[in-house]
A and B are shown apart, each in its own frame.
Chain A
Amino acid sequence: MELFLRLQQAINTFSSRNAFCINATFYTYKDLATSISKIRKAIHSGTHEETEKIVGLVANDDLETYATIFALWFEGKAYVPISPDAPKDRNLSVIQQALLVTIIDSSEQPLFPEFNTIASKKLPDCEIDLVPKKVSDQELVYILFTSGTTGQPKGVPIDRGNLTGFMKSFEKMNFKMDENDKCLQMFEMTFDLSVVSYLFPLLYGACIYTIPKGKIKFNYIFELLDEEKLTFALMVPSILQYLRPYFEEMNFPDLKYSLFCGEALSLEITKEWSVCVPNAKILNYYGPTEDTIYCTYYVYNRTGENKTHNGVLSIGRAMEGTMTIAIDENNNILPAGENGQLCLGGIQLTPGYWNNEEKNKEAFFYIDYKGEHTRFYKTGDLCRFDKEGDILYLGRLDHQVKIQGFRIELAEIEFHVKSFLGKTNAVAVPILDAVGNTEIGLIIESKPMGTDPLLDHIKTKLPAYMIPKRIQFTDEFPLNTNGKTDRNKLKQLF
């Protein structure tokens, strides 16, 4: 059945069951239906039907924010999540790039009063209406903005065909899910792992547990696993790094599925974690926002060997509907065993960056694949296929890093640092914190100086996870043999 019809049917069928647990309050599918209908009515009367296909959504942690997504989808529209915690400058850049006119906001006071705002918590009651509008697969479901090398975030639009294709492929794994399942949703809405975390459980009448703002994430996840007995959890591997010192006190036999995505997953920590979740199937997923949430997977083998490179678990092979190839610098497809850039094609692939022809030319290309002219996306990830077709992840080809799964272009940080410092050079590097997670270090080519004004400035431009945690100074940047700044040497300053 069509995805949006399934969603409608599930919300009707499970009306008395819990759909969400948000900050220790439960909301039923009926509550969700009521909220969706009210917001839908307000969208219908408050936005232009033809010209406003894309609407802003202030990403709060409440029922209305989730209901807004489904209200927009049922109306055939797309959302752009706007983080209330991100700097206003960055949010305005997103709003302008996406050409948003209307913003749906559940906050008490509207965050962007200068825009047409629908206050989703203050809407009058109305009749339930969950019938999805029939619109083409090319209509968008969301646009997410990710870190861009030029200092401006870049938009990745995902359409209904992409999302439908994703869900179909994902469900080929035959997860045993029903209305008794309890599922984790630990992600900010600006991160696409949130989409599968809220959408997949709802299709089965299951209950979604979110992480309230202001809570320490890994602590709260532990509580949910321990006390609520979650059965399904998709997490970023850095959560495991935080939990690791406490693995001994952890035993979650109710967890049936333990999924990871967003960062490299180490075999060692997976092994230790598998003891804490004795009945869980552990899966390692991989995929960039451009290819809709994730598109390859590897099933962790509890009893035998696992494929790894440098201790990092394989990212396995493509989900159905996705094509994976490794290419050399001249876009030639490489055979198994050779290192090359991982490229992705198929049903989940974005139609292209939002209003950014230059980036599109760089990142997307056509190639003959199994006799067909096929569009592929260059991920920037270095990989190698083994003889059986499993993909080993080898690292990045550029200066992109992941912090708790968030994609960060170091150049975007450097852009804002340098625009503040004027002529002084600066380089951002990934470094490891006390538990082995990645954080950002900044090296400035100058004598030591106070950095508070600089930090205050970039905090108005960049979200918290992009702010350098440690800063060093050096008189002159070392150069490598190619005459470029030697980032590896600079890293050693920490």
Chain B
Amino acid sequence: MERTQIVDKLQKIIATVVKHENFEMKNELSAADVAGWDSLTHMVIITEIEKSFQVKFKLKELNKLNNLGNLIELIQSKLS
């Protein structure tokens, strides 16, 4: 899957869960930059990503993520 496709899908998932689009899909984006992305919504976002991309993350992998760039790389590594 192309990187831009992954970014598109991710944007839709995040926007649906946090219910707004006030964030920019740049590599440095972190949960703290997105209003409404907290402990409660994080799980939902991750579950939606797993469903949408048909992948399964380990918590250890998720914990190493610092920003959106890392998340995209992780998804790419799972898809390849």
Which residues does A use to contact B, with CB under 8 Å? Answer: 214, 216-219, 222-223, 226, 242-243, 245-246, 249-250, 404, 433-435, 437, 439, 464, 469
Contacts and interface: CB of A to CB of B under 8 A. Distances in A.
B38 A435 contact: no
A359 to B, nearest CB: 30
Q: Is the interface of A mostly helix, strand, loop or mixed?
A: helix
B59 A216 contact: no
Interface of B: 31-32, 38-40, 42-44, 47, 58-60, 62-63
B40 A439 contact: yes
18 contacts: A214-B32, A216-B31, A216-B38, A222-B59, A223-B63, A226-B60, A242-B39, A249-B58, A404-B39, A404-B40, A433-B40, A433-B43, A434-B47, A435-B43, A435-B44, A435-B47, A437-B40, A469-B40
A216 B58 contact: no
Given A219-B63, A434-B47, A246 B39 contact: no
Nearest to B17: A434
Given A214-B32, A216-B31, A434-B47, A249 B60 contact: yes
Given A219-B59, A222-B63, A246-B58, A464 B38 contact: yes
B44 A218 contact: no
Given A216-B31, A434-B47, A246 B40 contact: no
A347 to B, nearest CB: 35
Given A218-B39, A222-B63, A249-B59, 4 more contacts: A218-B43, A219-B42, A434-B47, A469-B40
Contacts of A469: 40
A250 B60 CA distance: 10
Contacts, number: 42
Given A214-B32, A464-B38, A434 B60 contact: no
Contacts of A439: 40
Nearest to A246: B59
B52 to A, nearest CB: 14
Contacts of B39: 216-218, 242, 404
Contacts of B60: 226, 249
A151 B30 CA distance: 35
B47 A216 contact: no
A469 B39 CA distance: 13
Given A214-B32, A242-B39, A219 B62 contact: yes
A431 to B, nearest CB: 13
B1 to A, nearest CB: 23
A402 to B, nearest CB: 14
B44 A433 contact: yes
Nearest to B31: A216
Contact of A434 (B31, B43, B58): B43
A249 B39 CA distance: 20
B8 to A, nearest CB: 22
Which among A216, A226, A242 has the greatest number of chain B C-beta atoms within 10 A? A216
Contacts of B32: 214
A218 B47 CA distance: 15
A469 B40 CA distance: 10
B56 to A, nearest CB: 9
A242 B39 CA distance: 9
Contacts of B43: 218, 242, 433-435
Q: A223, A243, A434: which has the most chain B beta carbons within 10 Å?
A: A434
Contacts of B47: 245, 434-435
A214 B37 CA distance: 10
A434 B31 CA distance: 19
A219 B45 CA distance: 14
Nearest to A437: B40
Contacts of A214: 31-32
Nearest to B48: A434
Nearest to A217: B39
Contacts of B62: 219
A469 B44 CA distance: 12
A368 B40 CA distance: 45
Among A245, A437, A464, chain B packs the most CB atoms within 10 A around the CB of A245
Top 8 closest pairs, chain A to chain B, by CB: A246-B59, A214-B32, A217-B39, A216-B42, A434-B44, A216-B39, A219-B63, A435-B43
